[in-house]
Amino acid sequence: MLPLVELVTTLVTDEAAATRTEEFAGTVLGKQVVRCSDRSGFVVNALLVPYLLAAIRMVEAGFATVEDVDKAVVAGLSHPMGPLRLSDLVGLDTLKLIADKMFEEFKEAAVRAAAAVAAMVEAGQTGQEIRSGFSTRY
């Protein structure tokens, strides 16, 4: 389980309820809590999805291989895994679902699902859960 809870509030969220939730998540569950307002992607996916899709587009364009993109991020940015392996871990079907929702809301090219993701999901290649995705290529 991830050590983070994104506490999403709206204009009608009761501040006392939000504070109790934050305390519970931090104290009882041992989670780090970040607050944000309600929008598609919240904080983590709003940053993660465009990053993953940019990496996939690099491979689609023939700029670099799956292995080289992942290797560059692990070695060059000190990330624990590369974006294509992470896409497989998240699940390509899940990535597409989130990207589609974010694109519907924001109409930004950075969150439009890459063609490779749509094709792989349609073919049933959804990632690590079935050992079929980008990182199975190396």
- CATH code of 89's domain: 1.10.1040.10
- Same domain flag for 71 and 13: no
Would you tell me how many other CB atoms lie within 10 Å of the CB of residue 95?
A: 28
Same domain, 56 and 27: no
| pLDDT value for 4 | 98
pLDDT score recorded for residue 138? 55
Domain extent for 21: 4-37
* Same-domain check for residues 85 and 32: no
62 and 83 both lie in a single domain: yes
Per-residue pLDDT of the chain (138 residues; tens, 9 = 90+): 889 999 999 999 999 999 999 999 999 999 999 999 999 999 999 999 999 999 999 999 999 999 999 999 999 999 999 999 999 999 999 999 999 999 999 999 999 999 999 999 999 999 887 678 887 765
**Within this chain, do residues 70 and 107 fall inside the same structural domain, yes or no?**
yes
Report the alpha-carbon distance of residue 51 to residue 57 in Å, rounded. Answer: 10
Residues 97 and 124 occupy one common structural domain: yes
Do 53 and 105 have their domain in common?
yes
Distance separating alpha carbons of residues 63 and 42, to the nearest angstrom: 30
- Do 74 and 126 belong to one domain? yes
- Predicted confidence at residue 69, as pLDDT, reads 98
What per-residue confidence (pLDDT) applies to 137?
63
Residues 96 and 128 in one domain: yes
Q: Are 33 and 67 contained in the same domain?
A: no
* Same domain, residue pair 65 and 15: no
Q: 20 and 80 in one domain?
A: no
Distinct helix (H) and strand (E) counts, the chain: 6, 2
Task: Of 121, 72, 62, 71, give the one whose Cα is nearest residue 95.
Answer: 121
Give just the sign of the alpha carbon dihedral 55, 59, 62, 65. Answer: positive
